[in-house]
Amino acid sequence: MSELDEAWAFALAEAESRARLAGSRDVAAYLALRNSNDLLRRTGIEWLISTFETLAAHANRRGASIQISKEDNHRFRAGNSTMVGRLLILRFGVRQLSIEAGWPRTPRDGVVRGGGLATANIRHLGIKAAGEALRLIQSPQGAPSWVAGEKEEKPAAIHETNLRKHIATLLASR
């Protein structure tokens, strides 16, 4: 978590505490929900990014030579909205796999389409059809879960095996 994210979480906790003390239950409930959703978002994004990093590290131990670069506070477009989050770039020769994940931070940034908590894009440079757009949702058990597919369709849950396919595509010879 970046210092800015920590400061934001602390400010929200302080505001929630002040709202509770002032008897503003509706404001306190909103801030508690916001804190809970932000924790789900951070957890889901951390899982996605760290899983790709781990898969790339395993491939490197087998001799792949994948170069890894990361960026925090990355801004990207998702539909008409702007997401703020993390970017992971995996390079293998001339091939590149980009994983960007985040959520809108201010009202002017917009919303996550399909009612999700966060959005992620997995993109293969030069292989558009291999990319995926993901949404982070809260599972019925309360845990964050990445899914592919629009809200109207039955979303497909994303697991480590799905991410392994992206690493395989990155490493595939032409």
Q: How much is the pTM?
A: 0.83
Is pLDDT above 60 for 50? Answer: yes
Looking at residue 6, its pLDDT comes to 64
Q: Residue 64 — pLDDT band, cuts 50, 70, 90?
A: very high
How much is the mean pLDDT over the chain?
86
Q: Which two tokens stand for residue 63?
A: 């001799």
> What are phi and psi for residue 75, nearest 5 degrees?
-110, 135
By three-state DSSP, how is residue 22 classified?
Answer: coil
Chain centroid to Cα 119, Å, comes to 6
**What is the residue extent of each domain of the chain?**
3-171
Q: Kindly list the distances between the CA atom of residue 38 and the CA atoms of 72, 86, 144, 158, 168, in Å, as whole numbers in the listed order.
A: 16, 14, 11, 20, 32
Q: Kindly list the distances between the CA atom of residue 123 and the CA atoms of 20, 22, 38, 111, 132, in Å, as whole numbers in the listed order.
A: 44, 47, 25, 21, 7
Q: Kindly list the distances between the CA atom of residue 111 and the CA atoms of 1, 30, 44, in Å, as whole numbers in the listed order.
A: 22, 17, 17
- Mean pLDDT calculated for residue range 77-96: 94
Q: Residue 2 — pLDDT band, cuts 50, 70, 90?
A: low
Q: Residue 38 — pLDDT band, cuts 50, 70, 90?
A: confident
- Mean pLDDT calculated for residue range 72-90: 94
Q: Residue 30 — pLDDT band, cuts 50, 70, 90?
A: low
CB-side neighbour CA atoms (13 Å) of 165:
9
Looking at residue 29, its pLDDT comes to 67
Q: Which two tokens stand for residue 34?
A: 């916001």
Q: What is the identity of the amino acid at 56?
A: A
